[in-house]
Amino acid sequence: MTLDTLLIYVVASIALAVIPGPTMLLALSNGIDGGMRRASWGIAGASLGSVTLIAVVALGLGSLLAASELLFNAIRVAGVAYLVWLGVKLWRSDAADLGTALAKSAIEVRPHGRVALMRSLLVALSNPKTVLFFAAFLPQFIDIAKPQGTQYLLLGAIFVALDTCVMLAYAAAGTQAVRWLSRRGLKMLNRSCAAGMWLLAATLAFWRRPGT
């Protein structure tokens, strides 16, 4: 892999990372409701999901998903249902005061952190589009004449690092929203995230694999 190829990959990964997706919306919402502490758990879950999906593609299992209509649709339906459910949760939630969130003890915060981690992990894993995207995107930067395992490791690490930085920015924006917006404004922002989840769910529900 040449330096030019790597630089192109970095630019493309940044462009893809900044596009709002369900994990980005969750990072923003977690930043609003629980500050950076809870958001960090969610970001860890989303990053773990990306690592898992990249490993799936590297092992060649992404082609299995692309070939199996039944498996693809099963994951797609599960992803749609989960995004709708998350949207309902966000719509009904009240934006907490930052002071209240920061005053919580570690014992109180930790379970919420685990919930945030699992939510983001499940969102990342229940979107078959992501697997197909990685299956189509990553191989374009792989030099088949050289060991592919280390190349996938490098490309995966770069993408996850960039994606994590963008999610941190979304989460930080959420914490600043808590500081500057009224409770009504925060509730509207949370509901905007919920609407975004439903829009993504609708997109996934009607999306079909290329060639079908």
Half-sphere exposure of 150 (CA within 13 A, CB side): 5
Q: How many CB atoms lie within 10 A of CB 171?
A: 27
Handedness of CA 78, 122, 14, 194 (dihedral sign): positive
Mean pLDDT of 98-110: 43
Handedness of CA 100, 102, 105, 106 (dihedral sign): positive
Q: State yes or no: pLDDT of 80 exceeds 60.
A: yes
92 vs 157: which has the higher pLDDT: 157
Confidence of residue 63 (pLDDT cuts 50, 70, 90): low
Per-residue pLDDT reduced to its tens digit, 137-163: 777 777 777 888 888 899 899 999 998
What is the predicted pLDDT for the residue at 208?
Answer: 61
Per-residue pLDDT reduced to its tens digit, 20-47: 678 888 888 888 777 888 889 989 999 9
What is the predicted pLDDT for the residue at 84?
Answer: 84
Q: Which residue has the tokens 């529900």?
A: 205
The domain ranges of the chain are 21-206
31 vs 89: which has the higher pLDDT: 31
What is the predicted pLDDT for the residue at 101?
Answer: 46
